[in-house]
A and B are shown apart, each in its own frame.
Chain A
Amino acid sequence: EPEVTQTPSHQVTQMGQEVILRCVPISNHLYFYWYRQILGQKVEFLVSFYNNEISEKSEIFDDQFSVERPDGSNFTLKIRSTKLEDSAMYFCASSSRTGGNQPQHFGDGTRLSIL
């Protein structure tokens, strides 16, 4: 069964450094998402992306964050100047169509640890 893949599985970074989290969505999907889950807390929406542009973003997704689809397969989340509170599990998801009734399929996540 097609799946969303994320790399790396675990990223350890010094505070203030930049990180790039990578995702390969399911190949025929057109809509991509990033969520994060701080340990012990709920999964929170960060951003959605379609047709090479951001379609929605949450209050969490401030100027520190950016997303990009650099080629036909990868979808990346960049966090500039990381802070301790950015430590979380980051999940990429994709869906085949738009509309609030479409299931989203999640990758296994990248655990980001900021030291």
Chain B
Amino acid sequence: QKEVEQNSGPLSVPEGAIASLNCTYSDRGSQSFFWYRQYSGKSPELIMFIYSNGDKEDGRFTAQLNKASQYVSLLIRDSQPSDSATYLCAVTISNTGNQFYFGTGTSLTVIP
């Protein structure tokens, strides 16, 4: 069973705070990890991706991967009201080609 789990939230943080979003996955063959942002009724928009253990930073976003513990997280620094959206974690698995396995998403609200 290739499960990708996310806390559905909602997660509320004040403007300017750090938002921390977590994702766990069940298949140890998981190789690549993607974070997408989805506004209500819109398409998933790629934020960033990570392949190797450790941290990867891109502007206000940091992805953290720990393959031993099978989790990947996304930190959003200096959160803005425009960051309010659902954040989707997606995973690819080495023996299943290119298909993405998505979590259900975490709803984030940034309060002005």
- Footprint of B on A, CB under 8 Å? 31, 33, 35, 41-45, 48, 55-56, 58, 91, 95, 98-109, 111
| Distance of B21 from chain A, by nearest CB (Å) | 15
B22 interface contact, C-beta 8 A: no
- Footprint of A on B, CB under 8 Å? 31-32, 34, 36, 41-46, 49, 51, 88, 90, 92-94, 96-105
- CB pair B44–A106 under 8 Å, yes or no, is yes
With A and B bound together, what is the CA distance between A104 and B44 in angstroms?
10
Q: Which residues of B contact A99 (CB under 8 A)?
A: 98
Q: Which residues of B contact A35 (CB under 8 A)?
A: 100
Q: Which residues of B contact A100 (CB under 8 A)?
A: 31-32, 92-94, 96-98
Q: Across the interface, name the chain A residue whose C-beta is closest to B102.
A: A43
Q: Across the interface, name the chain A residue whose C-beta is closest to B92.
A: A100
